[in-house]
A and B are shown apart, each in its own frame.
Chain A
Amino acid sequence: MTAEQIIQQILFFISAALTLGSAVMVVATRKLIQAALWLIVSLFGVAVLYALLDASFLVVVQVVVYIGAIAILFIFAVMLTQRDQRDKGPQLNKSWVLAALVGLATFGGLTFLVSSWTGFGAAAAPIPAGTVDMVADLGTALVSVDQYVLPFEVASVLLLAALIGAIYVAYNRK
């Protein structure tokens, strides 16, 4: 392993721990606003994972869309509620042992499945700099007939549906 790969490994473990740890905090904390903030940390950890994979477009889109827009929506939603709406009930219910077992079994099964894949454990090959313009390639792929033009246009219909739905819900109750 070269020095770069070791650094990459270390960064991966740090960001994975950050993502998972803050995801646990999202469900463990009792204050709504703090749950939202931990969620942002978790989403940021995912962005770091993308950065480690050289997917620079996804890094910034992760930040722009998830952290910059969707998490803002969550914070606004929290502010629609009263302050100090703390969750006072117990955080675990009776069947938590069972749920933990199912979770562990799922994780084990997934790990088993993925480990039989040949690419498992191999380091990602670095993309040679300057050879491909990934953003332009993505743009081309989005609007080429033989590639993703239909999903792309359907995405706009989906956005339209969401828009109309949101306005309908908020305004038609009067």
Chain B
Amino acid sequence: MIDLALVLEWVIKSLVVIFMLLGGFAYLTWFERRILARMQTRVGPNRAGWQGLLQPVADAVKLVFKEELIPARADKVIFVLAPILTVVPATVLAVVIPFGTQVILFGRQVNLAVADINVGILFLMAVASVAVYGIVLAGWSSNNKFALMGGMRSTAQMISYELALGLSFVLVALMADSLQLSEIVEAQRTMWFVVLQPVGAIVFLIVTLAEVNRAPFDMPEAEQELAAGFHSEYSGMKFALFFMAEYQKMIVISIIAVTLFFGGYLGPFIGRFPWLGPVYVLGKVVALLFGMVWIRATLPRIRYDRLMDLGWKVLLPLVLGLVLITATGILLADEFGNSLVWSIPVVSILAGFLTVGLVDRSLRRKFNALR
């Protein structure tokens, strides 16, 4: 039955998740700058408040009071629409994610997920594919050749990696036997999927870096060649929205990685204290985010042709192979005893090594041909 309490529950849950992401975005920028600074033996922002904790607030205030420019021959409607179209999908990705099991709140059974739909994985794919529009439209409407170039590159990159992303979703669906995210987490009670399919998890993490345009795949924002890529012409709050979208996507996609491969809200004592669920999610997400910052501090940007090659010629066939390996392994385990399930990680790791070897050989050959 639909009633006021239900609507109120939706509203409260939505607002909690949205503001959580907003706060997460603000402090992720601080986190990243501090960590990057440490890794480069600098100090990083430490003036505004204790340990620089008020820095995000100061940045937000600064951006609000900046002048917003719209280039003369830009398509104004689309120019304003583009940042909204970028930030909304980045947030909406979080809507299907379970942050825990059920808790009792004000005498109501409350699911710790806004909408745990039965096609959750496909929903993630759908929203990820909509996220492309903001970027391509921003690049197009700016009437700036570098912005257009950045937007097109970024779009081509994102759709190319979406295939490998979709196939790694298939991997998870195979292992969990469901597309619903809460059931996927529950299927990991005995064993996280990262144990069963380590190569799949690694591929997923690589692909998500490309999907959120993070280093070393931050081609669309390649400062040295494209000014700032698709958001060159944006300033003030509109720029802030692009920035927000990028960091919210980082957070959300880490939550998704945690949900799909690292046991989601599962952890010790979760059965007794359901409120521990969000805490476990947070802990795992912070670990992944630290990894993302670390990667940015470590790896140089990949050349664009190599980037597309990696997506189309390496990751796509690799994940396709992993899908077949996983399906075969699960069927073998069903037929001939459960211990055969270990053939999945073993064969997958072999396939991973084979891929790395082939890439290495091909690169060596190119190098030798140049000499």
Contacts and interface: CB of A to CB of B under 8 A. Distances in A.
B119 A56 contact: yes
Given A33-B78, A33-B140, A68-B130, A61 B122 contact: yes
Given A4-B2, A60-B119, A133-B118, A72 B78 contact: no
Interface in A40-57: 40, 56-57
A33 B75 contact: yes
Interface string A95-106: 000000000000
A3 B133 CA distance: 36
A69 B136 contact: no
Interface in B62-83: 75, 78
Main secondary structure of the interface of B (DSSP, over half): helix
A64 interface: yes
Given A64-B129, A68-B126, A56 B155 contact: no
B344 interface: no
A79 B140 CA distance: 8
Given A33-B75, A75-B136, A60 B118 contact: no
Contacts of B119: 56-57, 59-60, 135
B136 A135 contact: no
Interface string A128-145: 000001110000000000
Nearest to B179: A135
Chain B: interface residue count, which band?
Answer: 20 to 34
Nearest to B75: A33
Interface in A51-98: 56-57, 59-61, 63-64, 67-69, 72, 75-76, 79
A72 B152 CA distance: 11
B152 A79 contact: yes
B126 A64 contact: yes
B123 A60 contact: yes
Contact of A63 (B75, B117, B130): B130
B113 to A, nearest CB: 15
Contacts of A61: 122
Interface in B1-41: 1-2
B176 to A, nearest CB: 12
Contacts of A7: 2
A64 B127 CA distance: 8
A60 B155 CA distance: 20
B122 A57 contact: yes
B152 A60 contact: no
Contacts of A56: 117-119
A64 B125 contact: yes
B126 A135 contact: no
A64 B137 CA distance: 18
Contacts of B123: 60
Nearest to A31: B75
Interface in A1-36: 3-4, 7, 33
B78 A63 contact: no
Nearest to B162: A68
A75 B159 CA distance: 13
Contact of A68 (B2, B75, B129, B179): B129
B94 interface: no
Contacts of A40: 133
Interface in B101-150: 117-119, 122-123, 125-130, 132-133, 136-137, 140, 148
Nearest to A47: B126
A64 B75 contact: no
B155 A72 contact: yes
B271 to A, nearest CB: 22
Given A3-B2, A56-B119, A57-B119, A72 B136 contact: yes
Nearest to A68: B129
Contacts of B136: 72, 75
Contacts of B155: 72, 76
A60 B126 contact: yes
A60 B140 contact: no
A121 B127 CA distance: 33
Contacts of B78: 33, 37
Given A7-B2, A33-B78, A69 B129 contact: yes
Contacts of A133: 118
A136 to B, nearest CB: 8
A79 B230 CA distance: 15
Nearest to B77: A34
A72 B132 contact: yes
A57 B1 CA distance: 23
Tell me which of A4, A7, A64, A75 has the highest count of chain B C-beta atoms within 10 A of its own C-beta: A64
Given A4-B2, A33-B75, 7 more contacts: A40-B133, A60-B123, A64-B129, A68-B125, A75-B137, A75-B140, A79-B148
15 contacts: A7-B2, A33-B140, A40-B133, A56-B117, A56-B119, A60-B123, A63-B126, A64-B122, A64-B129, A67-B126, A67-B129, A67-B130, A68-B128, A72-B159, A75-B133
